[in-house]
Structure 1
Amino acid sequence: MRFFSACRALAGAQRGAVAVESALAITLVLVPLCLGAADLGVVFATQARLDQATQAAVLAAWGNTAAASPAALQALATEAYGTAPPSLIMTTPSLACVCLTVASGQETSTPANCGGTCASGQMASYLSLSLSAQVTLPVPLPALPAAIALSSGGTVRIQ
C-alpha cells in the first residue's frame, strides 16, 4: 500500500514541472537556433571575405592595367581573402573588348577583337573575374545542406 500512496502523491505534485519544461524548451528550441546562427555566421563571414578579395583584385586591375595579369590578380585576391579555410577558387580572368559609338545621343557597343582598332568609335576593354569558395557548415542541420557554394564576381573597365 505504501507504493500506491507514494504514486498518488507524485501524480498530484507540481514541484519541478517548470524546470523540466524549461529544459525541454532549451534543448528543443534554443540549441538548434544557436547552432543555426553559428552556421549563418560562418557563411556571412566567408561571403564578406570573398567580396573583399574581389574588390581588391578589381581595384588593382582598374588602377594599374599593366599589372593586371591573371597571376597578379590571383595573388592580390588570395592576400585579401586570407589563409583561413575554406580555400579560395578563382577562375581565370576574362577580357572582353567592345567598340563604343555614340549616335543621336545614344551609346552603343559592338563586340570587337582585343588589341584591334575600331573603325568608328573608341575601344573599351572589360576585365571580368569570379571568385568562389565551398563552405562546409560546422554544425549541419537537417534542413540545410552540409556544404554551401558561395561566389563573388566583378567586372571593371580597364581601357
Structure 2
Amino acid sequence: MTRITLAVLALAGALAACQPVERELTEEQQLALIDTLMGVQRDLFNAAKAVDADAVIAFFDGDAGVIIGTEVVPYPMFVQQVRDSYAAIDGQTASWHPAKVSVISRDVVALTLAGRVATIVAGDTSEAVPVAWTEVLVRTDSGWKVLHAHQSMGSPASGR
C-alpha cells in the first residue's frame, strides 16, 4: 500500500474511534427514563386541566408535527387552536388509562395512552368524551419536548 492510502486508512480509523457510541440502556435506566417522562406528562396534563395555554404550548417543540383527528395541523395553527379553545373554557377534567411507553433511545421516547376528557364552562361539566393520545418526545437543551403528537377524540355517545 502507498503511504497516502495508509494515512487515509489511519485517519479514517481515528475518526471512527472518536464517534459517540449509542449504548443500549439497562432496564433500570429505561425505568428511570419512563418515570421522568411520566412526570413530564403529568405536568403537561395538569397544565391542560388548568387551561393554561402558554404552559401547554411550552411542552411542544417549536416545529412540532401535530395531528388532531385526521387533520395535520401546522404548528402555528396548533398554537392558535390551543389558545382559542382554552379561552372558551374554565377547566378540564381527565382520566387516563395506563400508558404504553417505548424507549427508542436515551433522547427519544414514544408514549401512547387513552382516557376520557370533559370541559368545564361556567361551572357546568360536559359529558366526558373518549380521547387517544400519542406523542414522540425528544430531549433538548431545554428539557423534554413533544416533537410529534396525534390526538383523536370520540363523541360522548360512542364510548370509544
Same fold (TM over 0.5): no
Instruction: Give TM-score, length-normalised by structure 2.
Output: 0.24
TM-score by length of 1: 0.24
More helix by share: 1
Structure scoring higher RCO (CA < 8 A, sep ≥ 6) equals 1
Larger radius of gyration: 1
